[in-house]
Structure 1
Amino acid sequence: MRSEGLTVDYRVRGGVVRAVDGVHLDLHAGEILALVGESGCGKSTLAGALLGARQPSRGRVLFDGDPLPVSARGLRAYRRRVQLVPQDPAGALNPRYSVYEAVAEGLRIHRVPGDERVLVAEALATAGLRPPERFLAALPHELSGGQRQRVLIAAAVALRPVVLLADEPVASLDASARGEILGLLLRLRDHLGLAALVITHDLGLAWNVADRVAVMYLGRIVEVGPAGAVLTAPRHPYTQALLSVLPESDRPATVLAGEPPDPARMPLGCRFHPRCPALATGRAAAVADRCRTMDPAVLPGGRASGAACHLLPAPSGT
């Protein structure tokens, strides 16, 4: 899966909000890519565009080298192969549906051949709900938060997708359940060869699960690279600040000033410069004018690492 120059605009009273701005991003087979950033930075909007649920204003999404289909039939076939795992299992599961019905619903919509009961049981077992017979008749309120999240994952893997888009998959879970679900995502990658885009505001999650990390700020990818490189030697001041406040960090904590700017009134120059610690300390004195007046280059796609920051050399193409 690949996005090329993906841009998503919203019309609002008084103008246009650019939620996603020129994003180039690759998701490779058999890898977990963590998409990290503060709430409101455009992560979920980007996921919606990748799923075909939001129409890009510019740019495109490619899957197996082909643009996303536009017909209802084509999109339905695409969404069988690219499955969304929603953020809130309590809200995503119909409280009147048993676990069996929740998992079987997608099989029926996509008319998946085979014995439905066997397929449901296999999906539940794959998601770690064993023995599956114990859970078939259960209702969502009878399950723990972690079990409900596993039901959503089972409903996705029942369709045998090749990509999972997981939107904050552990945000509502306690520490024990978080670890179990992250372990499940790793097993799905290793045993089924699934690729996964894991959307999160928590860089700490990326330590445990990601092969690569992409950091998003106000609609742009500002840093991307292998997880080990981004998490141990971050280059962008925003990534450095996010990492510094993790409990396990050995960096001095950097608390960003203020909230992200309103995307309807984007600042001139680098969109991060009003909160940039480097500007506040004078470390960027030589390039401060560029930071305030010139937008850094958009990061290319592909496997190359890069950071969109005037303090660093311009990223090279792939």
Structure 2
Amino acid sequence: MTTAETPAPGAPLLASRGLHVTFPGRRGAPAARAVDGVDLELAPGEIVALVGESGCGKTTLARALLGLVRPTGGEVRFGGRALDHRARGLKAYRKRVQLVLQDPSGSLNPRHTVYDAVAEGLRIHRHPGDERAAVAEALSRAGLRPPERFFLRYPHELSGGQRQRVVIAGALVLGPELIVADEPVASLDASVRGEILALLLGLRDELGLSALVVTHDLGLAWNIADRVAVMYLGRIVETGPVEDVLTRPQHPYTQALLSVLPEAGGEPVVLGGEPPDPSRIPSGCRFHARCQVLASGQADAAGVADRCRTQELAVLPADAEAPQVACHWAAARREDR
């Protein structure tokens, strides 16, 4: 894979096809199917929010897309070509796809200055050209101006928002086409979150940068994403344009996630049953044991309760323009209209 490779017009920049990541169980325990069949696409210049509660597999999926975890099935494609998991291929790939972690304090070495933290990627990849100018440009793009003022500072001398901007500058310094941001504002004060989200949107507008934003917060998705993919127990269960999914959610799980937002109004949906366990995926719809629609009798009334408990749903297609949902009840409701 070389930096000359670009997707054909209209083709996705990044795509997964039938992606599986399975971790062996300990001492004879069942294997954990952390990612259990995922088709996902990101177009050039697009921001996609990958949403779900803790344990749903979204971080493992992101790590597989980054090449940090090798899939046990399916493939990742970038620029139309399958990801090369050999060391040389991954090194070339990581110049084009960068990770932004949620905790800047944990991802910055406290012994390194801001300059060294941002320059690290240039040195690893033996990037030609003026290192000082590249670091200054990256810091400036990340909103730390004048950049020279920050060169010799250490992480403990910065605010939380400034540290996150340094992490973003470190991702930008190699000129990537895509960033994967794992809970990019979760550790920040509310007053700073909007600034970081505005920065990510500005980078998309200025540089054509694509982003996969991993979050449990549907409110964040509303503010930043073009499309949303809702994940539960290793699968995408609902996906589509952000306005469609968040104003007209079809899957009961998405409805439950939205119900706890302050602006939602009404009573929050309290999910029963056990939290998702990737080593014990149930038959039928993987959400059925916790589903408020099944528990309330609405699935029985729609004639799909048995299907919910016994009939597995297909993997959602990644290339569909219209909203998609993996739910027997939602499908029955569409048929009745």
TM-score category (smaller protein):
over 0.9
Q: Does 1:140 align with 2:158?
A: no
Q: How does 1:113-192 map to 2 (within 5 A)?
A: 113-192=128-207
**Among 293, 306, 316, the residue aligned to 2:324:** 306
The separation in 2 between residues aligned to 1:69 and 1:183, in whole angstroms, is 33
Secondary structure (helix, strand or coil) at the match of 1:4 reads strand
Secondary structure (helix, strand or coil) at the match of 2:304 reads helix
Measured after TM superposition, the shift of residue 280 of structure 1 is 1.2
Secondary structure (helix, strand or coil) at the match of 1:21 reads strand
Maintained 8 Å contact 2:104/2:160: yes
- Find the counterpart in structure 1 of residue 7 from structure 2: none
Measured after TM superposition, the shift of residue 40 of structure 1 is 0.9
- Find the counterpart in structure 2 of residue 294 from structure 1: 311
Structure 1 outlier segments of 4+, above 4 Å: none
The separation in 2 between residues aligned to 1:70 and 1:57, in whole angstroms, is 12
**Among 6, 25, 30, the residue aligned to 1:12:** 25
Q: Does 1:278 align with 2:296?
A: no
- Tell me the alpha carbon deviations over residues 75-106 of structure 1, each in whole angstroms, 9 at most, x when there is no partner: 10101000011121101100000000000000
- Tell me the alpha carbon deviations over residues 139-183 of structure 1, each in whole angstroms, 9 at most, x when there is no partner: 011111111110010000100000000001001001111111000
Measured after TM superposition, the shift of residue 133 of structure 1 is 1.2
Measured after TM superposition, the shift of residue 15 of structure 1 is 2.5
Measured after TM superposition, the shift of residue 261 of structure 1 is 3.1
Percent identical residues: 68
**How many equivalent residue pairs?**
315
The separation in 2 between residues aligned to 1:238 and 1:312, in whole angstroms, is 11
- Find the counterpart in structure 2 of residue 205 from structure 1: 220
Maintained 8 Å contact 1:218/1:260: no
Measured after TM superposition, the shift of residue 258 of structure 1 is 3.8
Q: Does 1:67 align with 2:82?
A: yes
**Among 249, 257, 263, the residue aligned to 1:242:** 257
Maintained 8 Å contact 2:114/2:154: yes
Unaligned 5+ residue runs, structure 2?
A: 1-13
Measured after TM superposition, the shift of residue 259 of structure 1 is 3.9
- Tell me the alpha carbon deviations over residues 96-119 of structure 1, each in whole angstroms, 9 at most, x when there is no partner: 000000000001111222111110
The separation in 1 between residues aligned to 2:274 and 2:51, in whole angstroms, is 16
Maintained 8 Å contact 2:23/2:34: yes
Maintained 8 Å contact 1:23/1:298: yes
AA aligned to 2:107 is A
Secondary structure (helix, strand or coil) at the match of 1:297 reads coil
The separation in 2 between residues aligned to 1:50 and 1:10, in whole angstroms, is 16
Measured after TM superposition, the shift of residue 251 of structure 1 is 4.5
Q: For residues 49 and 222 of structure 1, do their structure 2 counterparts lie closer, same or farther at Cα, with a shift above 3 Å needed? A: same
Unaligned 5+ residue runs, structure 1?
A: none
The separation in 2 between residues aligned to 1:250 and 1:23, in whole angstroms, is 32
Secondary structure (helix, strand or coil) at the match of 2:264 reads coil
Deviates more, 1:56-65 or 1:298-307: 298-307
Q: Does 1:218 align with 2:233?
A: yes
- TM-score of the pair, normalised by structure 2: 0.91
The separation in 2 between residues aligned to 1:261 and 1:71, in whole angstroms, is 33
The separation in 2 between residues aligned to 1:207 and 1:303, in whole angstroms, is 20
The separation in 1 between residues aligned to 2:259 and 2:209, in whole angstroms, is 31
- Find the counterpart in structure 1 of residue 281 from structure 2: 266
Maintained 8 Å contact 2:56/2:276: no
Deviates more, 1:153-162 or 1:244-253: 244-253
AA aligned to 2:181 is A
Two-structure CA RMSD over aligned residues (Å): 1.2
